Amino acid sequence: MLNLNAPRSDLKSAFLSAARNASLSATLPLTARTALSISIAAVAALVLKPASITVANLGQVALPVAVALGKLGLAFAILGFVAATFGAALETGLSCGYSVAQYFGWQWGKYVRPRQAARFHLVVLLSLILATGLVLTTINPVTVTEYSVVFSAVALPLTYFPILVISNDRDYMGDQVNGRAMNALSSVFLVIIVVVAVAAIPLMLLTKAGQ
C-alpha cells in the first residue's frame, strides 16, 4: 500500500521496489506473449492465407489449432482464450484505476481495502462495466483492438519520455540511475517509437487498417 503522505525517502524506496518487481514480473510474460504472437501469425499465414481466410474475429484464430491438434487442441485454445481475455480485462480495469487515482492523488492499490481506496475501486468497477457494455454492442472487438493498438503507439512517446527523465534523476533512482550506455540505448528506442508514433495514423489510413 502506498502512503502518499509518507516522507520522500520512503516514497523513493517504494518506487524503486515497485520498479524492480515490475521489471521482473513483466519480462517473462512479455517474452512468452511475443513468442506466442509470432507463432500465431506464422501458423495463421500457413493455414488461413491459402484458404483466403482473413482473421475478423477471435474464433478464426483457433482454426489453425483445430487443424493441427484436433478437438483436444481446440479445447486448450478456448481455455487459453478465456484466461487471456479475463486476465486482460482485469489488467485493463486496474490500469484505468491506477491512472486516474495517481493523477488525482487518490489512495490506490489492489491490496488496499475498498473502504480505504473507495474511488480507486469505483473507477476499476466502472471501467469493467463500460467495457462489458461495449462488448454487448455490435462493434467487432478485433477492430477495436486494432485501432486501440494504433492509438497506443501514438501515445507511447508521451509515457516513455517521462520514464526516461525519471530514470536519470539520481534523487529518485539512487544507484539505479541510468548510465551512458543505457541512455544511448534508451535514446535509440525513443527515436524509434517517435517515428512509429508519427507514422501510425497515416499508415492506418493508407492501408485502411490493414484491410
What pLDDT, on a 0 to 100 scale, did the predictor assign at position 123?
92
Residue with the bigger pLDDT between 75 and 48: it is 75
Residue 59, amino acid: G
What pLDDT, on a 0 to 100 scale, did the predictor assign at position 14?
62
pLDDT at residue 27 tops 70? no
What pLDDT, on a 0 to 100 scale, did the predictor assign at position 10?
56
What pLDDT, on a 0 to 100 scale, did the predictor assign at position 191?
92
160 within 8 A of 123, measured Cβ to Cβ: no
Cell matching residue 67 = 487443424
Cell matching residue 139 = 462493434
C-alpha span between 81 and 148 (Å, rounded): 19
C-alpha span between 116 and 170 (Å, rounded): 32
pLDDT at residue 2 tops 50? no
- How distant, in Å, are the alpha carbons of 30, 40, 45, 87, 140 from that of 50? 30, 15, 8, 33, 24
62 within 8 A of 74, measured Cβ to Cβ: yes
Cell matching residue 11 = 516514497
What pLDDT, on a 0 to 100 scale, did the predictor assign at position 119?
92
Q: Look-up: residue for cell 502512503? A: 3
pLDDT at residue 81 tops 50? yes
Label residue 16 by pLDDT band (50, 70, 90).
low
Q: In the predicted model, what is the mean pLDDT of residues 65-85? A: 84
Sign of CA dihedral 153, 164, 88, 109: negative
